[in-house]
Amino acid sequence: MPAPTPSTATFLVVANRLPVDRSIDEAGNVSWRTSPGGLVTALEPVMRKHGGAWVGWHGAPDEVVETFEHDGFTIVPVPLSTDEVEEYYEGFSNATLWPLYHDSVAFPEFHREWWDAYQSVNRRFAEKAAEIADEGATVWVQDYQLQLVPQMLRELRPDLNIGFFLHIPFPPIELYLQLPWRRQILEGLLGADLVGFQTVGGSRNFLQLVKTHTPLKVNRDAVEMPDGRQSVSRAFPISIDTQGFRDLANSPEVIAMAEELLDDLGHPETIFLGVDRLDYTKGLRQKVRAFGELFDSGELDPSKSVFIQVATPSRERVEEYVRLRNDIDLLVGRINSHTESLGRAPIVYRHASFGRDTLAAMYRIADVMVVTPLRDGMNLVAKEYIACHASDDGALVLSEFAGAARELKQAYMVNPYDLNGLKSTLVKAGSDDPAEKRRRLRALRKQVNTHTIDAWADNFLTALTANRAL
């Protein structure tokens, strides 16, 4: 429902996308649904707790949408033109920065027009935030699409308390230096009082770059800024609403859904599960190939084991994603057509988005959760599985290249590039001694119980306020 005028707020989240997607039914009625993806999963509970305003794009190009109230906070839509979606979002954000920051697992493209669009859209976000922030408000800017906003916002509103959090990895120095606009992005980020990264490695890379490629002085984790401020950089590993996920997974509806799913699958002995956005950083090609070989060689018996892979549609207009989708379709089709049995296919693959309750039901029944990204800032799916899997007999197979590997040390760790290693770890995780599995899962649970999304937001916001008070 449209609100009268954009009021001011003392707490603002500024992110490329709003946490809601608009859907219009045949009768033309508009409704808003939660959009999928890690940033939204993480920040939605934070917004519900703090209130305030969320500034972001609403997902439809060339349209101006009015500010409205949703779930206890204000939604402030920022418009983007079709060209901007192409150049700022699909181009610079998702075909330059995204691959570059993920170890160049796909080739990053550098185009000057994309950079121009990135600057002007960042300016629009900064101006919108400046317009609605109260005197001395806290503004929390999110992620790689908006790295110039902290500096632009500071120029407009020096009174604000500005935080920035990067949800994806900050790359190794050698890779970052390829970026033709490396200096501008460092300066953009340093406009924040506090710059947060998923891992210590990310913040170390950033500080090292500031030391070697700017004239600024770095004092441990603090950069001395010419205006007398300090810009502090530190790791804040993100997490989930652990209790919320657990309650959902233990609800009668989800338990019933889980039973139904088991019936549909024919009660296999071992269920392997993957849940990822369909993204080349998530290691889907490697994962599917590993299962293909295991089913082919008989190391996994398709009548006893199944691999369910949910691949949520993502960035479908970016070329590299179209290629990935076709590759996976082909690969899964080929593997499934090899099986002799006429029963259920060994790989149950769905290129679709599901409700959170269905995901929770899948986490409940999965014996082995398979999270094997080639590079990932954190990976919330790994944590959601631990929160939702009720019994002690589950197992998490986790890539050492996910930020989550720094915390979830008792997972079955893999290098997803090592196909044989991946295969043997999958088999081990599926058939390990129950006492060993129990020991590992209990330790993982302890970690996810104590490191929640609330703790993450509190830590960040406390550090932000403390720094400002200096």
Rule CB under 6 A: which residues touch ligand GDG? 36-39, 41-42, 167-168, 238, 275, 277, 312, 353-356, 359, 376-381, 384
CA distance 274 to 364: 13
Residue nearest to ligand GDG (CB): 38
Q: How many CA atoms lie within 13 A of 12 on its CB side?
A: 31
Comparison of 37 and 421: residue with beta carbon closer to ligand GDG? 37
CA distance 451 to 429: 25
Contact 257, 358 (CB under 8 A): yes
What's the min distance (Å) between Cβ of 168 and ligand GDG? Answer: 5
Comparison of 84 and 241: residue with beta carbon closer to ligand GDG? 241
Alpha-carbon torsion (44, 243, 404, 202), positive or negative: positive
- What is the helix (H) or strand (E) element at residue 132, kind and residue range? helix 112-132
Instruction: Residue 220: name the closest of 78, 228, 211 by CA.
Output: 211
What's the min distance (Å) between Cβ of 99 and ligand GDG? Answer: 13
What's the min distance (Å) between Cβ of 469 and ligand GDG? Answer: 27
Comparison of 167 and 234: residue with beta carbon closer to ligand GDG? 167
CA distance 210 to 204: 10
Comparison of 157 and 287: residue with beta carbon closer to ligand GDG? 287
Comparison of 6 and 172: residue with beta carbon closer to ligand GDG? 172
Q: Quote the crossing angle between the two packed helices 453-468 and 38-50, to the nearest 10°.
A: 70
- What is the helix (H) or strand (E) element at residue 204, kind and residue range? helix 200-213
Tell me the two tokens of residue 199.
């891992």
Comparison of 322 and 352: residue with beta carbon closer to ligand GDG? 352
Comparison of 300 and 328: residue with beta carbon closer to ligand GDG? 328
Instruction: Residue 52: name the closest of 86, 12, 101, 14 by CA.
Output: 12
